[in-house]
Amino acid sequence: MDWTAYRAVLFDLDGVITPTAEVHMRAWADLFEPVLEEHGAEPYTDQDYFDHVDGKPRYDGVRDLLASRGIELPEGSPDDGADAETVCGLGNRKDQAFMQALEEGGVSPYPGSLALMEQLRDAGTAMAIVSSSRNAPRVLQTAGVTEFFPVVVHGGVAEERGLPGKPAPDTYEEAARLLGVADADAVVVEDATSGVAAGAAGDFALVIGVDRGTGADALLAAGADVVVTDLGELVGPLPQGTDRGEG
């Protein structure tokens, strides 16, 4: 992989940089299992996470999962309490569970992802995080990798700026703009089909899928140019003469 061909790399966070996708999966399961049982609907499975929730803004994930079971709930508002039986209330309940799990268990970056981030930093390649989660800054801080990402476009930023979430490409385009890099000079790295589709919908140089359980075929079908199982596979020696600095 010749990273010198690109000026920036735009990473999703959960499941790409940190294993927090697993924490999200547990939080979603804990949310939906009793809700679906209460409505007499087909039980929740891990595949539901990949099909309806993964990579999307939180309330969109709630709405899409409920729709898959033919369940309609009031939309509510973002101010709804976690006990409210609304789309926003359920989303807030899930967020509460995620933050509790994060605080109790902490999180560290994937070793392969960290190795790639260090190589890109040393080569002077710009990096950004593009995450549907409003908790991205907290996750980055907990994982100790904030320094790598001068730009973080998370769900709160998207809402403030009126940007549609993944699978629309807008949040990735915003990250490239903030880095001062043309979309065509940037690489998108994603583990969710919705995120891969967002990269494929834009004018980006390359879309890399990371298969953490979604499946290589699904990522390729969503628009990935290449799929790996770990970002360590893309770490390689820098060209001769490249100053790695002291990092």
Which tens digits make up the pLDDT trace of 74-104? 999 999 999 999 999 999 998 888 888 888 8
Q: What is the mean pLDDT of residues 179-186?
A: 98
Mean pLDDT of 30-40: 94
Topology (CATH) of 22-105: DNA polymerase; domain 1 (1.10.150)
Per the residue annotation, which of 14, 48, 60, 183 is the catalytic one?
A: 14
Does the annotation mark 83 as catalytic?
A: no
Mean of the pLDDT values across residues 54-83?
93
What is the reported pLDDT for 246? 33
Task: Identify whether 12 is a catalytic site residue.
Answer: yes
Q: Is the pLDDT of residue 209 over 90?
A: yes
CA angle (197 as vertex; 196, 201 as ends), nearest 5: 120
pLDDT beyond 50 at 219: yes
Please give the pLDDT value at position 245. 33
Among residues 103, 123, 115, which one has the least CA distance to residue 4?
Answer: 123
- Give residue limits of the domains in the chain: 3-19+108-234, 22-105
Burial of residue 87, with CB atoms counted within 10 A of its CB: 0-12 exposed, 13-18 middle, 19 or more buried = buried
- d(CA 86, CA 22) in angstroms, rounded, equals 25
| pLDDT tier, 240 (very low <50, low <70, confident <90, very high otherwise) | very low
Domain 3-19+108-234, architecture per CATH: 3-Layer(aba) Sandwich (3.40)
The yes-or-no verdict on residue 237 having pLDDT over 90 is no
- Regarding pTM above 0.95, the answer is no
